[in-house]
Amino acid sequence: MSVVDTIKEQIENNTILLYMKGTPRFPQCGFSSRAVEAIMSCGERFAFVNILENPDIRAELPKYANWPTFPQLWINGELVGGCDIICEMAASGELKDMVVAAAQTEGDAEA
């Protein structure tokens, strides 16, 4: 399986997915830390990929997403954005609405 296929599979199989440096418990950069805080404040579970442990994904995802930086938040297969966008959406309440709706959709699919 190619790296791009792996990325596609991760995005398709995880309703809410954050590509980040480190893990939610131990973020390895300030931007990832702020993004995780904003997403966690929404109160829903989310998947993550530590790009520091996946150098192939770290190299390929910016080309695939046409987005050069990390973190990257994907919801329902769509790129939401990076740290600044995530934090702006959290401040306006838009992120929580989007995350809760996505989690609800995922819950309905599992039932």
**Binding site members:** 21, 29, 58, 70, 83-84
Give the whole-angstrom CA distance, residue 43 versus residue 97.
11
For 30-55, give the DSSP string. Answer: HHHHHHHHHHHTTT---EEEETTS-H
**Binding site members for [2Fe-2S] cluster:** 29
| Contact between 18 and 61 (Cβ < 8 Å) | no
**Binding site members for glutathione:** 21, 58, 70, 83-84
